[in-house]
Amino acid sequence: MTRVGLALGASWLGGVSYCRNLLEAILALPDRRIEPVLLVGRRADNGILAALPPVEVIRTGLLDRLTPRWGARKVWQQVFGRDPLMGRFLRSHGIDVLSHSDFLGTGAAPPAICWIPDLQHRQLPQFSRASQRWYRDHNISLQCRHATRIILSSHDAERELARFQPSCVGKARVLQFVAQPRVSAATPDLETLRERYGIGNAYFHVPNQFWAHKNHRLILDALAVLKARGDPVLVVSTGPTTDYRDPQHFARLMAHADAIGVQSCFRALGVIPYGDLVGLMVNAVAVINPSRAEGWSTSVEEAKSLGKQVILSDLPVHREQAPPGGIYFGVDDASGLAEAMQVLWTTYDVDADGERRTRAQRDLPARVEAFGRAYQDIVLELADV
């Protein structure tokens, strides 16, 4: 059994859902040949670990940010393109492949797989400072030079990487993850959600953090179009309301909603319990993702796995994700979004929605197995070298 170490470091903290989906896909393989091992810092939050499937966990101070040992690793990586401290630690614990972490160096043992979720800073440079773009470019360049393999979540991201680092193409592998939202008897029903959040019987759900490139403003403008027609609808949005690149972004959005008179049509709930989020998605008329850039949208994948219809921006990556029955609109086309919302609002049928969910649940195990097998193949390709 090949032991693959998944480093749940600082870069993963926003991707715990991704980690859970990957681990569950690996563990579901009927003929599994790899053994996932979580590598975490000594300071790692036990609550995060409790949300993940039960696998072996190895703690190390090498993954604790801003400590002397972590700093020593970074100096070696930046100056020499190597990470001998982590390499020695991994070998002492029988790790055959390091995954979704930093590079260890050209020809290092064990081999290392770096994960580049997206290249949004290159697709939308206006949403980050020049220093942030430089730092991201620099890190990607080091990964391409010194990692054994690079995992990307979409062919769209692979094309962008090829434009930026053509020499990295041979190392790149595309791994399109499959979301596995957890629906159970404890998932709240519509009546419970109405009482808990003060929402109506019908609403659209936008499960995206309030970052500038997520394009929530277009939803507000679409709501204004519908309200002007005399067809107001409700949009419920969940996710963190802070954008580290632009701390005033959420306040400006809410001021815009007030200025155009749609504040009663848009409910921003912020971060809510995961079970409530799944319940909101299950009971929504449809899911909306108006984003200007994605690596591989988690909200779109969750909607696919739940059989929900999706209204989404017309991006190459969204076309690649291809949610069944997806309706696409231009990223600046508020009227197009309003039209799509109106169509699904007036034609929504609870029974048809239930049938789509049943089909999605039936198809999900095969999709998850394909995801797990694709990842296993990437790991074994290195383990067999």
Note whether 2-178+367-380 and 190-348 share their fold.
yes
Confidence at residue 10, expressed as pLDDT on a 0 to 100 scale: 44
Confidence at residue 173, expressed as pLDDT on a 0 to 100 scale: 97
Cis, peptide link before residue 110, omega less than 30° from 0: yes
Strand partners, 62: none
Residue type, 292: R
Nearest to 331 by CA among 157, 215, 237: 215
Q: Could you tell me the CATH superfamily of domain 2-178+367-380?
A: Glycogen Phosphorylase B; (3.40.50.2000)
pLDDT per residue as tens digits for the range 52-111: 999 999 999 999 989 999 999 999 999 999 999 999 999 999 999 999 988 999 999 999
130: left (phi over 0), alpha (psi -120 to 50) or beta: alpha
- Cα gap 385→383, rounded to integer Å: 6
Strand partners, 311: 288, 327
Q: Are 174 and 153 in contact (CB under 8 A)?
A: yes
Domains of the chain, residue spans: 2-178+367-380, 190-348
Mean pLDDT (whole number) for 247-275: 96
Q: pTM higher than 0.85, yes or no?
A: yes
Confidence at residue 127, expressed as pLDDT on a 0 to 100 scale: 87
Confidence at residue 49, expressed as pLDDT on a 0 to 100 scale: 85
Confidence at residue 385, expressed as pLDDT on a 0 to 100 scale: 53
Mean pLDDT (whole number) for 164-190: 94
pLDDT per residue as tens digits for the range 13-69: 447 888 999 999 999 999 999 999 999 999 888 888 888 999 999 999 999 989 999
Higher pLDDT, 367 or 200: 367
Nearest to 20 by CA among 274, 243, 267, 248: 274
Tokens, residue 309: 């219809």
CATH architecture for the domain at 190-348: 3-Layer(aba) Sandwich (3.40)
Q: Are 44 and 67 in contact (CB under 8 A)?
A: no
Is the model's pLDDT at 9 over the cut of 60? no
270: left (phi over 0), alpha (psi -120 to 50) or beta: left
Contacts of 325 (CB under 8 A, 6+ apart): 309, 310, 356
Q: Cα 122 vs. chain centroid, distance in angstroms?
A: 18
Q: Cβ–Cβ contacts within 10 Å for residue 197, how many? A: 16
Nearest to 215 by CA among 330, 341, 345: 330
DSSP 296: S
pLDDT per residue as tens digits for the range 315-363: 999 999 999 999 999 999 999 999 999 999 999 999 999 999 999 999 9
pLDDT per residue as tens digits for the range 182-240: 888 889 999 999 999 999 889 999 999 999 999 999 999 999 999 999 999 999 999 99
Alpha carbon dihedral 159, 162, 165, 166, in 10-degree steps, equals 180
